[in-house]
Amino acid sequence: MPNRGTNDFQVDGQNDEKTVWKIVADTLLIPMEFINSELSYQSVMQWDSMGHVNLMLAIEKNFDVKIGQDQVLELTSVSEIVSYISKCSTSNFSQKNSIKDNEKSNIIHRGLTNIYFDESEITFIDAKNGKLFHRGYSIDDLVKQASYEEVAYLLIYSDLPNKKALNIFQKKIELFRKLSDSTVSVIKLLVNNQTATNVLRTITSHLSETLADLSVEDQGIAYIAKIPTIIGTYLAFKNNKDLPQPPEKLSQAAYLLFMLLGKIPETDVIRIFEQNMILQAEHDSNASTFAARITTSTEAELGNAITSAIATFSGCLHGGALLGVVQMLQEMHDANEVKSYIQNRLKKKAPIFGFGHRVYRTEDPRAKPLKENAKILSEKYGNARLLEILEAVKAEMSGYIEHGINVNVDFYACISYLLMGLEKDMLVPIFIANRSCGWVAHIIEQKNKNILLRPRLQYTGDIKDKFIEIEQRA
């Protein structure tokens, strides 16, 4: 029987339950009257991923038990936590049998976590080992050896291109980059009262009819090509500058950088930017990709599906962590301030941006190359402060890392972009530009084996006995 710690809790199940309820209330800052056995992970705002790890740490501390990563994923309701603690109190406790499957006829999976809604040949995430593959190719190999165009082609056409195919693909991108005068005029009208993300969404919708006669693949290539142009046009109007006039035959990375900076940086900077583009190009059924597939499943055309995908970035929970990490960097002057800053945010239940992922329990495999790129640019520009702050943040979060709240793709990405001189408000539009090829791949796959995506909601309200006439209502 495990030692119950300094709190000297009783072994019987009733007291275990009362204690767990109090720990849940105190840790998640939920009034006791709202606690019940059915309360579960993500059923309330306070019980998010960070709150879940805080709760697991509190359970460990109060009951003097050790909760492994697999158990962290299983202990997702008050009743399951109580059951686990009760079994920890018996001599025949078996860890592998600690949590029984939920045997309700209708199991609720809030947030659709770890729910597979279809098969796909695009991306494989090995969440347990922190590996990522696109069309069977490791992201480590792609980021080191491929161009962004090669990766985009791979995602769309299912295989890496030969030289002839890549040349045709690149020429199509160059051909589709130009915007019509009418589209430019619409951007000019929107620029003063809309964010770049909202302008991207609106212009994408605006373009849908003009591209509808193209094949679905060429429609996708057109959006990949035009999104950087929309960003650059928006930025020029916003800053009262002339519209950018890029040279011909630029790679997608060099073109996007030119539209953002008005110049072409050094070759090594372009390559680092391109690697970051590859790392953000595709990632299974994330919020924006799922939105694109849902829209496509209604037999909507590609432009509307991409419009849906972009719309998901108007919320702060998809892509917003990029700006959150920038905010943290701006609020700390150096690494010496990290400890008090992080402890203060945790005390307030505020998020630590750049940590946690709905899929990975290990470090996001995209984080390592992003960190390497941030280090290279930090040395190139003689500015190590940003990276030092983030490394100190990571060290301060070590307890959370041990419980599966680890560094994600957003943590290091912003350093490279800031050191390149890119405006922070452009980080989400850059992410959208990079991710566009992944959306196209998923839209095509959805079209090729379509089924309407129509999940259910389990009703928990009352069934009324009869309709009450308006005169009789209180």
Angle at 107 between CA 284 and CA 290, to 5 degrees: 20
| Secondary structure (DSSP) of 192-242 | TTS-HHHHHHHHHHHHTTTTTTS-HHHHHHHHHHHHHHHHHHHHHHHTT-P
* Catalytic-role residue among 52, 357, 403, 442: 357
* Catalytic-role residue among 16, 48, 364, 410: 410
What does DSSP assign to residue 40? B
* Catalytic-role residue among 64, 284, 318, 425: 318
- Phi, psi angle pair for 246, to nearest 5°: -70, 150
Contact 49, 10 (CB under 8 A): no
Instruction: Respond yes or no: is residue 410 known to be catalytic.
Output: yes
- SS3 at position 120: coil
User: On the CB side of 175, how many CA atoms lie within 13 Å of its CA?
Assistant: 9
Instruction: Respond yes or no: is residue 333 known to be catalytic.
Output: no
Angle at 283 between CA 67 and CA 260, to 5 degrees: 125
**How many angstroms separate the Cα of 62 from the Cα of each of 57, 106, 346, 348?**
9, 33, 19, 21
Count other Cβ atoms within 10 Å, centred on residue 65.
18
Contact 169, 162 (CB under 8 A): no
Instruction: Respond yes or no: is residue 242 known to be catalytic.
Output: no
**How many angstroms separate the Cα of 194 from the Cα of each of 56, 86, 203, 330?**
42, 55, 12, 24
Torsion from C-alpha of 234, 238, 239, 242, nearest 10 degrees:
50
* Residue 471 to residue 460: CA distance in whole angstroms: 28
- Active site members: 318, 357, 410
